[in-house]
Amino acid sequence: LVAARSDKKIVLCHTAVGEVFTVELAKLAQLEEEAVKQRADGLAMAERSTPVWANHTLGAVALMISSGAPCEGLSLLLTSNVPPGAGMSNSAANCVALGLVFNELYPTLALDTQMKVVTFARDAENSKFGGGHCGWLDQMLIACSKEHMLTKIDYADHSIEHFTSQLPKETQFVALNTNVPHVLAESDYSHRVRELTVGIAFLSKILGENAGGPLLKLSSLNRLIAAVDPANPASKPVRLENIKMGALAAAAPDGSPKFPSIKAELAEPEPLGHQKIQEIVAAAKGDAYDPPSDLPMHKGKTKLESLGVLLRRMRHQKMSSLLVPLAGAAAAQGDSALFGTLLDLEGESLRMSGDFQITGDNGAQDALLDCAFEVGAEIAADTSVEFSVHGRMLGGGGGGNVLLMVVTGDATLRTKWEERVKDYYQEWADAKYPGQGIRATVIIPAMSAGARVLP
């Protein structure tokens, strides 16, 4: 709920936390700078000038005012059934909702298309108050989804397609919340964004082309990683050959490959030559590479070891760009086995033992995934009914939810699985966080319509 005021005050109330926060318009810029400094200083949340729940809202307010809205004051009543700090896009949903209501209140903002609302929401989340480094995914899904439909997004031109999932009715997606919260702006996600930026910039300079696009194949990244950091077990090659793509590997009716990018990877085209790889290694040893030594994953590492970390981040990004379109096709054709395999591959790369290492040092998401897979294997071994579990983490890591795909024709087995997973996780949480009463909770997601203003 939103209402204009005339006393030059911004008054925020959040029903979920039962708090009210008020700031004068004249002091908004000062509060914004304090948010930046306190975040950089690592000040405890309870000691900061702005409560954590208000940051993204104030970022949206500041953006709305700087965009020319004639705001003389504002009252906002906030509520949400999306758990905060859980990797479920609470902040993105909040910012999209604020873009919609601000446009109703101040039509001069001209947020009259979905992409304008999406852009507003993303800018609010990445504002000085929000401190995020997020992309487009969450905001676009929240604004543009259709009920009972899956959404395909092409980031090259922000185009959107909707299609119906043909995954069998025995397939159920389940989100399990670790209930160890995270703050996206202060999770390792921002570190990963910076690592990718540094790695792509370095290689682009040496190669004379954009290394962040389709230029480097998996085979090239594998060879480069092995050359710069051969002693690290994480440098082992990542390949796609073992994915059983079934019908998706066949040609389309016109004879063209259904997935030319996948086929190109599987064909193992000529990778970077030995000479070019040695040129990159020499440049990394010299002044051309400035490692992000202030980031935890790079402290105490040599230049080549640091570059190896960046290259593994890039390899994850490359893998994801190949797996996601394939997963969409698997859903459209009802191939749950392939979809589960791809979900697992992405999930393995996101874990602390994988290339992207985003689940976090607290171990909560990895532990909950381990519990889910362990219980799934136990139930599958004890029953003649089909039962399989696949999954990955959600959000920016360091806590929050994990997403599992459970395939079984027996709903009672899935309920049994949920309860036993919660028990296993409780044992882990009580040992890791004694006396805090941390427990896993279950969320059953649904494909719903996108954000809209209610009358």
pLDDT in tens, 142-194: 999 999 999 999 888 889 999 999 999 999 999 999 998 665 445 688 899 99
Average pLDDT over residues 273-298: 94
Predicted pLDDT of residue 441: 95
Dihedral pair phi/psi, residue 175, rounded to 5°: -100, 130
| Amino acid identity at 135 | G
Judged by DSSP in three states, 300 sits in coil
Residue 121: name the closest of 56, 176, 72 by CA: 56
Judged by DSSP in three states, 419 sits in helix
CA distance 190 to 451: 26
Instruction: Give the DSSP H or E segment for 162.
Output: strand 159-163
Beta strands in 71-134 (DSSP E): 74-78
The mean pLDDT of the chain is 89
| In contact, 291 and 199? CB cutoff 8 Å | no
Q: Read off the tokens for 340.
A: 């589960």
pLDDT in tens, 100-148: 999 999 999 999 999 999 999 999 999 999 888 888 889 999 999 999 9
Predicted pLDDT of residue 215: 84
Query: Degrees (nearest 5) of the Cα angle 433, 131, 49?
Result: 75
